[in-house]
Structure 1
Amino acid sequence: MDEKELKVLRLLSHQYKNTAAAATEIINLQSIMNLPKGTEHFLTDIHGEYEQFNHVLKNGSGSVRRKIDEEFGNTISSRDKKSLATLIYYPEEKLEIVQKEEENLEDWYKISLHRLVQVIKRVSSKYTRSKVRKALPKDFAYVIEELITEKEEVQDKEAYYNEILHTIIRIGRAPQFITALSHLIQRLVIDHLHIVGDIYDRGPGPHIIMDTLCEYHSVDVQWGNHDIVWMGAASGHMACIANVVRMAARYGNLATLEDGYGINLLPLAAFSLETYGDTDCSIFAIKYNTDYNTKDLSLDTKMHKAIALIQFKLEGQLIMRHPEFHMEERMLLHRIDYEKKTVTVNGREYAMLDTDLPTVDPAHPYDLTEEEAKVMVRLQQAFMKCEKLQRHVRFLFAKGGMYKIYNGNLLYHGCVPLNPDGSFMKVEIGGKEYSGKALYDILEYYARRGYYAKEGNERISSQDMFWYIWAGPGSPVFGKEKMATFERYFVADKEAHEEKKNSYYSLLEQEEVINRILAEFGLKTQDAHIVNGHVPVEQIHGESPIKCGGKLLIIDGGFSKAYQKKTGIAGYTLVCNSRGMRLVAHEPFESAEAAIKKESDIFSDSIVVESFHTRKMVADTDTGREIKESIFYLEELLEAYREGTIIEEA
């Protein structure tokens, strides 16, 4: 035994102080290896749609209802199953209705408690008692453990359990206990959650989603381009801030910034009223939903135009700072001909819908006016000093990254940039060329430096990479030749709007290409899968999210309401348990209120992607590999105790 290994064993001996302790832990870990693997839940492209997100999280993409069906079969009616499922999803709200309407409340409590306990027994069966115990709510931990644990020593078990439930009802704790049981079922039905990018933008509640994720028991996040731009904004990068504010204005979600994050937009509002009061802002119409307060429409439209022009200026400055980005064609303000009312894009002249740009100096089109500069400084301070935003972004850094390898699958938001022949596209970053996995790694390095580095050139240069990851042609999470924001506002001709996708998207069915990507990230090509989102799958036109025979799954199906007419559904989610992988296509979600009152769930069409030949156990997972390593060192420690190399405590 070398000195390094001996040092490891000595450290381990502080935790397992003698032969008995080490042996007990070996037995415990070895038994865990033979339990079924936990259920993984994959969501992507949530885009601020917090009500649908929360519902899908509560029902585990149908996992709760499947557990109810497995447990009760035909012994209870379909209506009772729906009612029980709704109670599990929304216990507080459902109890409030029941308490007003139910004539025999005590009987309802008794039946509901019995059914909830049965469901908990089923969903907890594949976990160790220790793991279940850690998940139990503190107030009812002992009682729940008594109810779900078989007690051989109790002769009349039914009477024993009935008396526990009867007492809970008699002392007036039934509502609290039902709520605790329901939340526990939600907690146990999903072991680990993957968010494959794009929490932010378009929808009204990304801050609510982030609050939920920060409290979730086990989660990882693969950054999407919409997340990255918010992370850049939180770091104080002005071009990212302008993009974030413009997107909020475009979708009628400025309240997300003002009310959700407490970011003061008054300086921008005052500037917009003064500067754009008599300016045509019609092409900057707001895409709003039923929750939008239309009394703000005129002001928001002016703010929309004001921040868009600031954005185009800041992006032009950034592109000039970084010629290695090769994005000069994205600088369009100096290509405007005000007399002809045209703009030249990629060598072609297009008529413009609006040339009334009071803050743009044709001689120096990318310079901010003095007032614009003041507005941006105020916004920068507001973003950087927003405690809630900073907490959410630190969570994204702590739990997230550009990609994730988990249980033999590769997760990323967009694509691995490819050339038309399927080879990895080389992208120049910091004077060097990167491709494949190395491109992901270097971009993540710069993103982390852009947020955490101290003031100076390194921080500024790294922050510019946030913007490149958001919209650069070589960015894996963007995956397009250009972001045609300017053209979509100012040019009617649809040809100018085209955003050519990376070759990755035309090569998805070629197994050789997919295998090359998997091998690049160190994965076996036989059983591994790629899971990504970013580009909505248009089911309405017959497009399938399952690519390359199931090796690649694109699970963006339109969580965002802005995409649902295009996709025909309201999002895909993926569930992977010990028996296989199942893709779930969701119908549009009406509202949480409708789900409670009508006991309506999201109708979900389930597609089996893969059924495992043998049931996957903990031993087959990343956790299993870590446990194997722990067992190895514990057995070494056991041997060291027996040989006297390390002295055990009595």
Structure 2
Amino acid sequence: MRNLEERYLDRLSDLYPTIAAASTEIINLQAILNLPKGTEHFITDVHGEYEAFSHVLKNGSGSVRRKINDVFGNTLSSRDKQSLATLIYYPKDKIAQVKKTESNMEDWYKINLYRLIEVSKRAASKYTRSKVRKALPKDFAYVIEELITERSEINDKESYYNEIIMTIIRIGRAEEFIIAISSLIQRLVVDHLHIVGDIYDRGPGPHIIMDKLMSYHSLDIQWGNHDVVWMGAAAGQLACIANVIRICARYGNLDILEDGYGINLLPLATFALQVYGDDPCDCFKLKGSDNPNRAEMELNMRMHKAISIIQFKIEGQTIRRQPGFGLEERALLHRIDYEKGTITLDGKEYKLLDTNFPTIDPKNPYQLSADEEDVMERLERAFTGCEKLQEHMHFLLSKGSLYKVYNNNLLYHGCVPLNEDGTLKEVTLFSKKFKGKSLYDALERYVRKGFFAVNREDCENGKDIMWYIWLNPNSPLFGKDKMATFERYFLAEKETHTEVKNPYYQYIENEKVIASIMKEFGLDFESDDTHIINGHVPVKRKNGESPVKCNGKVMVIDGGFSKAYQRETGIAGYTLIYNSYGLLLVAHEPFESTESAIEKESDIHSESMVIRRVVQRSLVENTDVGKELKEQIADLEVLLAAYRSGELKEKL
């Protein structure tokens, strides 16, 4: 039998069947290594805010504007530069607006076509022609390639290019061409996108964001706790389903489930009206909702209470079924004195704000009523049978993970669980102990088992792990001692609402601890180009907090897209750009609306902070892609040697 290397070379020879083919590919790959590294864009904590997310994606956190500045410098006014940027972000809408006031559209088309071509040339300059060609919009691929590629054999290039542009205008294709080339610029200014967690919950459009991400050219996703609870719901884990519905109800976003995913909530609505029809449900007011329809608001509040009570019951069942999760203290319904209307927590008695529990049997408080059982059975079928939801969750599985090491940066959402002394915390999962990287790896394996395991026990444990990741104190994606959902609804005393953070957050400025975390994931703290990119925790800039921690080794870049947090932070958060010149932290103001962005030509990246700037531009050879290309070159050189030594025959 032939050894592995021989079989591998034989397969490689199918792709490169001749000395010429192998040589050409080596030359091509070697040339790519010497191009500037592509721009990486880091976004986190999007929380369903589709319009703000879409705008930041379009402007590449200022990358488009920086390209415009590179090309035009002081030859264009700030006003003209901003108009051009807005045209690139929203070409169709901007053209429609200009048409209302512009008397000579032919001149306007000509001026802006020339400007767009120059910006696209600059954006394409760091890529191979082959890569640019693959990015070209199909309808105008040939024309755009002609315009952005120098043609030395044409003596009168200016006349040649002028004729192309005037023909585009004359035959009525200027608008479509502007839309196409604007899309190309957006595509080229960012080479790779990192979503560092929490696409879901709070905002109204996570399903729209997922559709957008599924068509994006190059990305990875680090799951946030809000993403994983949706994954658990899609897998049929009942506590996750209840949490997802409760959060949608709380933020007035049940439309996400009904209209976005086609999940029928009528059984829950009917049940809520029957059981809580006379209950004002004052503890279950919606958060951040401005719905003027009072009847709809009251129905949502009743549905909110109904699913919350179901959630507390199911979570109690899960806690009893999984004693190894160590959450017995979070099973609360049996701690209620239903006659007195009080609950005892940590030896102290508290009066409940709401004592109407018609579906709870005090003798068996975690048992669902027959009607609640029916509601949850229907919802489970709806979630597991929803084709669009399953498609989105499998996309998260294929493109996502709990952490990622990419170009010497460690990306994760939340925290690495630590002990009080700053050492890695050891966590037990199904009788096995894990800490640090091994904990992340074990949790991720169980998430995938929840979707794909054939063994029923592994599958069920995997589903329950998704709920564990959502709220367990030992979950790296949660990182607090408890999720005080019950207390926030039912108790007035603020001390019961407190969620104590994992010691990780106390040590985030400690170089020794951060160095140990980097070492755990295979990175060298002493290297200038290693960093931790951390999502999950909003940075309260109005309180003087900085997103840059540990002398620049840690970046906490909660995108701040969620409007619910913006009063606390005083800003819409941060994103990060890592290009061939270094690391750039971008601060964002709250996003008003798409209409405002077009009408006022307003942008939301307000300021940028250089975290690290290199003396010489970083090249592809210094990146993870470069390492892969070097491996391919080495393999091809072995293939070339095999052809030349006669070990392999060319396949002419």
Same fold (TM over 0.5): yes
- Cα deviation 1:192-223 (Å, max 9, x = unaligned): 00000000000000001000000000010000
Q: Alpha carbons of 1:292 and 1:608: their partners in 2 closer, same or farther (altered >3 Å)?
A: farther
Contact 1:236 1:384 in 2 (8 A): yes
- Cα deviation 1:514-571 (Å, max 9, x = unaligned): 1111110111222310011111111110011111011111101521000000011012
Taking the aligned partners of 2:160 and 2:197, their CA distance within structure 1 comes to 48
- Cα deviation 1:219-245 (Å, max 9, x = unaligned): 100000000000000011110000000
Taking the aligned partners of 1:564 and 1:336, their CA distance within structure 2 comes to 36
Q: CA deviation at 1:101?
A: 2.4
Taking the aligned partners of 1:632 and 1:50, their CA distance within structure 2 comes to 44
| 2:531 match | 529
| 2:572 match | 570
| 1:640 match | 642
Taking the aligned partners of 1:429 and 1:278, their CA distance within structure 2 comes to 44
Within a 5 Å distance, the mapping from 1:268-347 to structure 2 comes to: 268-290=268-290, 293-347=293-347
Within a 5 Å distance, the mapping from 1:288-437 to structure 2 comes to: 288-290=288-290, 293-437=293-437
Higher deviation after alignment, 289-298 or 325-334: 289-298
Contact 2:238 2:376 in 1 (8 A): yes
| 1:105 match | 105
Q: Alpha carbons of 1:76 and 1:11: their partners in 2 closer, same or farther (altered >3 Å)?
A: same
Taking the aligned partners of 1:242 and 1:160, their CA distance within structure 2 comes to 64
Give 1:554's match in structure 2, choosing from 525, 547, 556. Answer: 556
Letter in 1 for 2:165: L
Contact 1:280 1:356 in 2 (8 A): no
Within a 5 Å distance, the mapping from 1:618-633 to structure 2 comes to: 618-633=620-635
Contact 1:484 1:497 in 2 (8 A): yes
Letter in 1 for 2:642: A
Taking the aligned partners of 1:53 and 1:551, their CA distance within structure 2 comes to 26
Contact 2:222 2:401 in 1 (8 A): yes
Q: CA deviation at 1:611?
A: 1.0
Letter in 2 for 1:537: V
Taking the aligned partners of 1:418 and 1:618, their CA distance within structure 2 comes to 35
| 1:466 match | 466
Letter in 2 for 1:365: P
Taking the aligned partners of 1:198 and 1:513, their CA distance within structure 2 comes to 26
- Cα deviation 1:593-643 (Å, max 9, x = unaligned): 011111111142111111124321000001000000000011111111111
How much is the aligned-residue C-alpha RMSD, in angstroms?
Answer: 1.1
Taking the aligned partners of 2:431 and 2:347, their CA distance within structure 1 comes to 28
Match of 2:629, SS state, is helix
| 2:121 match | 121
Taking the aligned partners of 1:292 and 1:226, their CA distance within structure 2 comes to 28
Identity of aligned residues (%): 64
- Cα deviation 1:43-70 (Å, max 9, x = unaligned): 0000000000000000000110111111
Q: Is 1:187 aligned with 2:191?
A: no
- Cα deviation 1:387-435 (Å, max 9, x = unaligned): 1111100000000011011111100001100001111111110111110
Q: CA deviation at 1:280?
A: 3.6
Q: CA deviation at 1:99?
A: 2.6
| 1:255 match | 255
Contact 2:284 2:489 in 1 (8 A): yes
Letter in 1 for 2:365: P
Q: Is 1:224 aligned with 2:217?
A: no
Taking the aligned partners of 1:187 and 1:453, their CA distance within structure 2 comes to 37
Match of 1:101, SS state, is coil
Taking the aligned partners of 2:559 and 2:220, their CA distance within structure 1 comes to 20
Taking the aligned partners of 2:272 and 2:232, their CA distance within structure 1 comes to 24
| 1:606 match | 608
5+ unaligned residues in a row in structure 2: which ranges?
Answer: none
Alignment TM-score, normalising by the size of structure 2: 0.98
5+ unaligned residues in a row in structure 1: which ranges?
Answer: none
Taking the aligned partners of 1:330 and 1:139, their CA distance within structure 2 comes to 58
- Cα deviation 1:430-456 (Å, max 9, x = unaligned): 111110000000000000011122472
- Cα deviation 1:319-369 (Å, max 9, x = unaligned): 001111111110111111123322112222222111111111111000000
Contact 1:418 1:424 in 2 (8 A): yes
Higher deviation after alignment, 639-648 or 347-356: 347-356
Match of 1:344, SS state, is strand
Higher deviation after alignment, 414-423 or 599-608: 599-608
| 1:132 match | 132
Taking the aligned partners of 1:563 and 1:294, their CA distance within structure 2 comes to 25
Q: Is 1:446 aligned with 2:446?
A: yes
Q: Alpha carbons of 1:573 and 1:291: their partners in 2 closer, same or farther (altered >3 Å)?
A: farther
Match of 1:221, SS state, is strand
Q: Is 1:30 aligned with 2:30?
A: yes
Taking the aligned partners of 2:559 and 2:132, their CA distance within structure 1 comes to 34
Taking the aligned partners of 2:613 and 2:152, their CA distance within structure 1 comes to 36
| 1:10 match | 10
| 2:90 match | 90
- Cα deviation 1:151-194 (Å, max 9, x = unaligned): 11111111100000001111111110000000000000000000
| 2:165 match | 165
Match of 2:100, SS state, is helix
| 1:486 match | 486
| 1:581 match | 583
| 1:209 match | 209
Alignment TM-score, normalising by the size of structure 1: 0.98
| 2:599 match | 597
Letter in 2 for 1:57: L
Contact 1:426 1:435 in 2 (8 A): yes
Q: Alpha carbons of 1:461 and 1:642: their partners in 2 closer, same or farther (altered >3 Å)?
A: same
Higher deviation after alignment, 596-605 or 463-472: 596-605
Higher deviation after alignment, 460-469 or 186-195: 460-469
Taking the aligned partners of 2:357 and 2:295, their CA distance within structure 1 comes to 25
Contact 1:42 1:573 in 2 (8 A): yes
Q: CA deviation at 1:292?
A: 6.9
